[in-house]
Structure 1
């Protein structure tokens, strides 16, 4: 049985209200969705964005036409929820978590006007559009490439902090670096990811 047929069969069961199957889908994709939204909202708000995405996905399943894969559709919803968090108050909702020191300013330079509002409105994504720029698989591939290209210490700090949620003190002890150095390294790594997501949003390319 081909993957497309399997997905179609699964989708029909999900749309019919198979809660056990939906729980399996959550277990299968939850970690991937977390990894997808962390570059946008930071580690502390990623769980909220993904939980909101699951609620929206559960409600929207009966109307899902299947013009994209289930995984791509879920990724779009999760990214949309991450953007919703960023839109709250018209500025970065989790700025202090993503960039814990004054170095954050250069990444966001020019994004806001003097009142703190976005210079340009954030993109509203069509969760069903096959032409949507932010396709989960493609963006994940781009993120994988940039992670592989990072210096070893930079990638280690990013993964220990944002993926594993390890405290700065423990990261410093593990890697034998100072707290200030760890924050600078983390800032640079996150900046690369944010810029990549911005570029992908605008062009659809890495």
Structure 2
């Protein structure tokens, strides 16, 4: 979507086609972000967030993208929904940064594989994720990720936010976001590798 001034003006004027386009493009992604914090209440939280967003649109100054702006509104709505203590996120972030790297035992001290990953039979990640059992296990693993890792992964790989935008949203640095994202991806990669090696997911 081109976030030009004309499109924003159409949104502010409540142009139905522009509003439908905005919701169609962002709703699914915002529900996934909310679900990571509030579970089954995600749809309700996002509905509340849409109401807040449309009320606030006349004050949207374009300092961030609509994508980032909407994500922040959803995160704040999710925190409010459960009277969420944001210090939990900071504690989760601190714990993840202090923990050891997942799959660390598979690397030597120079960063080379001790025990290489299995050769994957699928040609593309889409082929891998298309397998129903693996897809279910990956969804479960995403929910088991430490909260800060889960949010970093959702905001980067599912929402496409830039590292600086994610850092601002999570109240951390872009470098920490990269660490969180790397660890989340390694944990998910471990599940894919187990599947390819024939272990039960």
The two structures have a TM-score, normalised by structure 1, of 0.48
> Which structure would you say has the larger Rg?
2
Query: What is the TM-score when the length of structure 2 is the normalising length?
Result: 0.49
